[in-house]
Each structure stands twice: as C-alpha cells, then as structure tokens.
Chains A and B, each alone.
Chain A
Amino acid sequence: MRLLNLIPAMAAFALLQVALWRDDDAGLVRRLKAHEPKAMADLYRRYGRVAYSVILRIVRNTAIAEDLTQETFLHVWNRVGLFDAERGALGPWMLTVARNRAIDHIRSQVRRLEANAVDFERLERPGRFVGLEESALTVDCARRLKRALEKLNANQRTVIELAYYEGMSHVEMAERLQQPLGTVKTWMRTALEILRTELSEAAIA
C-alpha cells in the first residue's frame, strides 16, 4: 500500500521550525484587521512556508499547493475581522485553514464530497481559536511531539496519517485498511492519548 510504504520515511522528516504562538501575533492581527497590505506580507513571511508545506504534504502537487496556499491566505485576510487579536491563536488557525483547504481539494478529487460533506467553515471559525495553551505551541513542544509520533507503532501512525492528511473517518479507515472498525478506533484512541499526554507534559516542562 502506497501510504504504508511512506510511513517509515516519517522518521527522516525535517522539522518545520515554526512557533505557532508568538507574542507579536496580536499586533499582526490588529494590522490585518485594518487591512494593511504590509501586514499580509508579514503574515506570509511568518506562516507562508509552514502553510505551503502542510498543503503540499496532502495534495502532493506543487502547482495545486500554491493555489491552495493563496486560497488559505485570502480566506484568513477576508475573515480576520472576526478573529480575537488578544486571545486568538493565529498559527493554529492558519494551519487549520491550510489543512482544510487541502483536504477539501483531495475529497473533491475522489468525489467524497457528496457522500460525506464536511462543514469546514464551521470547524475553522475564528472564534474557536481562543483559549489555546500558549506553552503547547512552541518549537520545543513540536520537537517532543515529533519524537512521540515516531515512537507510535506502525498501525497507530497509519491512522493518525489517514485522519490528519487524508481526512478519513474511522469507517473510511476501516475500509481502506480492511480492519474491524473497533480495531481502528482502538489504534486511534491509543495514539491520540499518547500524543495528548506528551504535549501536555511538554507544555508544563
């Protein structure tokens, strides 16, 4: 299976050196709200590469990844008025929008839209990105989480990959992997529990 063949390569992935929470994000959001064009240039400098990387990993085509990155930035530009400059987490919002644009694209390619529509607009509402633990959004936490990800077994990594990078539900994973639904749910629950605990400990440390 193509995906399973790719999994071992995860250990060699270079880490994106991006902190997803910066103290000066609030100022940047205020400038974006005022529609200062220079603020868009700063937003791109801060999150352009990481957004593009996430999208490319999902769509695996550079031309499409560029289109979707542009779509991501326009989406944020047009909706930033509803974003809480003081308490909102800009990095996580950007990555969520980027990932959802890419998943939406691959779902439309394989005609899964009609079968199981996802209301991404609702899931990525700017108001949802408040109250996130700032200390969990550092480069150090990302490093620890990456190490924890590498320690998951192959089945656990596979289900994480399918949910995050292919947008699959438990049922769709069970079909793809030809495994009982309960087994897939167990793999996912265990994997998330490990990652959740790791991130929480990293944030406290």
Chain B
Amino acid sequence: MNCQELKDLYELYALGVLEAAEKAEIEAHLARGCENCKRGLADALALNAVLLGIGPAETPRRQLRHRILASIGYERPGWFWTGALAAMLMLALAVWLGTQERERASQLAEARRQLLQISGERDRLSQAVWFLSDPDTRPASFGRGQEAAPRGYVFLHPQLGVMLIASNLPAAGAGQAYEMWVMPKTGAPRPAGMFQSDGMRGLQILSGPIDLDALDAVAVTVEPEEGSAAPTTMPIIMAPAGD
C-alpha cells in the first residue's frame, strides 16, 4: 500500500484497532522513515487526543490525588488518611458481614492496589537494568573502604541520566528524605529527585540527557520530605563524576 492508501488508517493505527496486515503496512512505512506517514501519524495523534478530550467532564474523589502522590512517596498518610482508614475498616467490617462475593471483590481491589505498587517498583528496576546494560553507561564509586559511611555507585549516561545505588544507607529521620543533587563544575547544585532508604539501601534515578563534561559530582543530602531547592545539610554522599 502507498501513503495515499494508508492516509485513512493513521488514527485507527494509533488507537491499536487495525487488523494485523494494515498495521504491518504502516509500521513498515514508519520504519523506513516515511515522512508522509510520520506527519499523518502526528496529525492522527492530535485528532485522537482532541476527540478523547470531548466528553462528559467527571470529577474524581479528592482521595485520588492523595493516592497518586503517596504512590511516589510525596504525601504520607495524615489525619485525612487516618479518617479514611477508619472508614475503610468499617467498610471491611460491613464486607465481612456481607456475602462471600463482596469479600472477594474487596480482596481483588486490594490485590490490584498492591499490584500497582509492585508495577511501579518493577518499572524502576527495569529502568535500572536498562542503565546497567547500556555500553555508554559510566560507573563511578563512592564510600569505598569506609565502614560506616554509605557506599555504592553512581552510573552516568549522556542520554539516560544518572542512577545512584547506595548501601549502608540508614532510613532518613521522621519527616525527612534523601535528595540527590547534580553538582556542575560551575554554578549551583541542581535537584535530582527525592528518595527513601529501606533501612539499608537506596536507589534514585534522574532520567534524561545530561552534560557529563560539565558534571563535577553527584551528591546526596538529608532534606525535609517535601524537598529543597538547594542543599540545606552537608552531603552524606559525594561521588565525583570523574572517579
């Protein structure tokens, strides 16, 4: 098929509803860098998005925001969640008193939530494997030979970013978290994300291209849980990029 014949199919391809033969035709054009098909697909993605955005506006419960932010470690359960937990316990009691079918539905919902958490962890691990398997990744160690200090590696990649793996890293105190910093040779440290330790180990990934020539070191400080724009404590990890 030529591009003219494919022009009616880009939207359906982007939706994943094309039959295998038509899908293969478009993918073959895209694989050989066909500009018509790339333009057609970009326009189709725009049309699909606008069409999806036309519809009944629904408002999710406020708890959804808390759930999403909690899932990345941004918000911890507070009084609001204590109330929600109490409500859930009462609901669980009602479920227990109800039919076996409802109990099973509740268990399934819980399993699904756990699966989401596991899925998030799996994604992080898969990112880590990606980092480690790329030949352009450059490792640098820190804390080697020091018994008490956190030790481990940072992995630097010009396109993938920075990954830090630390062991011997105690849990941050209450209301605190670890913050990674990218320290340029000149200029101020740049925040590179918050993370927690499980009591022994910590893993943090800053995704995205990074100028390794301008990078002096990767550091970690203890900061308030909501993060800081600039370090407020002395680094507990300082890994020189040129190590």
Contacts and interface: CB of A to CB of B under 8 A. Distances in A.
Partners in one complex: yes
Interface of A: 13-18, 20, 30, 33-38, 40-41, 44, 48-50, 52-54, 56-57, 62-63, 65-67, 69-71, 73-75, 77-82, 85, 89, 91-92, 95-96, 98-100, 103, 118-120, 123, 128-133, 136-137, 141-142, 145-146, 149, 160, 163-164, 167-171, 188-189, 192-193, 195-196, 199-200
A27 B241 CA distance: 26
A75 B48 CA distance: 20
Interface stretch (B168-176, B190-198, B232-240): B190-198
Contacts of B206: 33-35
Chain A contact surface mostly = helix
A37 B95 CA distance: 35
Given A100-B16, A168-B17, A14 B72 contact: no
B16 A81 contact: no
Contacts of B227: 36-38
Interface stretch (B56-64, B81-89, B144-152): B56-64
Contacts of A48: 60, 64-65, 68
A120 to B, nearest CB: 6
Contacts, number: 232
B68 A16 contact: no
B46 interface: yes
B48 to A, nearest CB: 7
Given A36-B227, A41-B74, A167-B16, 15 more contacts: A34-B192, A37-B73, A37-B74, A48-B60, A57-B55, A66-B60, A74-B71, A74-B119, A74-B120, A85-B208, A123-B14, A137-B49, A145-B51, A195-B47, A196-B47
Given A81-B207, A132-B46, A70 B52 contact: no
A157 B48 CA distance: 14
4 A-B pairs with the lowest CB-CB distances in the bound complex, closest first: A81-B207, A35-B193, A92-B49, A37-B74
11 contacts: A13-B55, A33-B208, A49-B57, A78-B124, A99-B52, A118-B17, A120-B16, A131-B38, A160-B51, A169-B19, A199-B50
Contacts of B55: 13, 16, 53-54, 57
A123 B43 CA distance: 15
Question: Which range holds the interface residue count of chain B?
Answer: 35 or more
Contacts of B127: 78, 81
Interface of B: 8, 11-19, 38-39, 41-43, 45-61, 63-65, 67-69, 71-74, 109, 112-113, 116, 119-120, 123-124, 127, 160-161, 190-194, 204-208, 226-227
